[in-house]
Amino acid sequence: MSSPEDRAVAAPTRRAVLGGLACLVALPLAGCLRPLYGTTGASGTGTVADLLRQVSVEPVKVDAGEEVLAHYLRQELVFALDGTGRSTSEGPRTYVLAVEAGASVSLPIVDAVTLRASVASLAGRASYTLSTADGSTVVDSARVNAIVTYERTAQRFAAVRAGREARIRLAKRLADEIRTRLSITLGAPPAPAVAAATGPTG
């Protein structure tokens, strides 16, 4: 039967062994983990943040009546990519980002007394294409979606204001999603060059 002193010594030893085993298991994966803002961007130099600052955001194209969404989505993208909100015409630009967006409103909840929709859902979509500045290469393209809800009151101006604020929130969510995807794309290491296959000569 072990004494309390022996158990006190053995406990830390077991913890140390388990900790060492955990480190050994994680060691092979260490080479697979790379910080998002490390120095291995798609160009092989600089950080992902530096590459995002080189993206010029074109005016967002939207459906008729969604000009508010277009304005705020572009503003959010400029700030999310550049980090300062400066005009996208400043500094060198390596990439061009073109975005087409739209939104639709649904009324999932209706007041049983007034038969008016008390809550609305605003679903937004944005399709983007990231190309090189000269337009010769498409670096990435995808579609993102987001949804926000807002309260619809019987007061007209309050309802209009709530819808506008919902579009501002929707623009931010779409911009964050696009920024995340672009960060992953630009942060990926460059693809290795593939040598052309040559057949036997003679």
> Which residue range(s) make up the domain with 133?
48-101+126-143+158-186
Whether residue 108 lies inside any domain: the answer is: no
Whether residue 73 lies inside any domain: the answer is: yes
Whether 139 shows a pLDDT value over 60: the answer reads yes
pLDDT tens digits for range 174-200 = 999 999 999 999 887 655 544 444 455
Q: How confident is the model at residue 10 (pLDDT cuts 50, 70, 90)?
A: very low
Q: How confident is the model at residue 160 (pLDDT cuts 50, 70, 90)?
A: confident
Mean residue pLDDT across the chain: 76
Whether residue 80 lies inside any domain: the answer is: yes
Whether residue 31 lies inside any domain: the answer is: no
Q: How confident is the model at residue 94 (pLDDT cuts 50, 70, 90)?
A: confident
Whether residue 137 lies inside any domain: the answer is: yes
- Number of domains, the chain: 1
Interatomic CA distance for residues 141 and 177, integer angstroms = 13
Map the chain to HEC letters. Answer: CCCHHHHHHHHHHHHHHHHHHHHHHHHHHHHHCCCCCCCCCCCCCCCHHHHHCCEEECCCEECCCCHHHHHHHHHHHHHHHHCCCCCCCCCCCCEEEEEEEEEEEEEEEECCCCCCEEEEEEEEEEEEEEEECCCCCEEEEEEEEEEEEEECCCCHHHHHHHHHHHHHHHHHHHHHHHHHHHHHHHHCCCCCCCCCCCCCCC
Q: What average pLDDT score do residues 19-32 get?
A: 50
What's 170's domain CATH number?
3.30.160.150
State the pLDDT at residue 106: 85
pTM: 0.69
State the pLDDT at residue 91: 62
Whether residue 75 lies inside any domain: the answer is: yes
Q: What average pLDDT score do residues 79-103 get?
A: 79
Whether residue 164 lies inside any domain: the answer is: yes
Interatomic CA distance for residues 99 and 167, integer angstroms = 16
What amino acid is encoded at 69 in this protein?
A: L
Q: How much of the chain, in percent, has pLDDT values that exceed 70? A: 61
Whether 8 shows a pLDDT value over 70: the answer reads no
State the pLDDT at residue 33: 46
Interatomic CA distance for residues 144 and 174, integer angstroms = 7
- CA-nearest of 21, 83, 35, 24 to 55 is 83
Whether residue 197 lies inside any domain: the answer is: no
Q: What average pLDDT score do residues 37-58 get?
A: 72
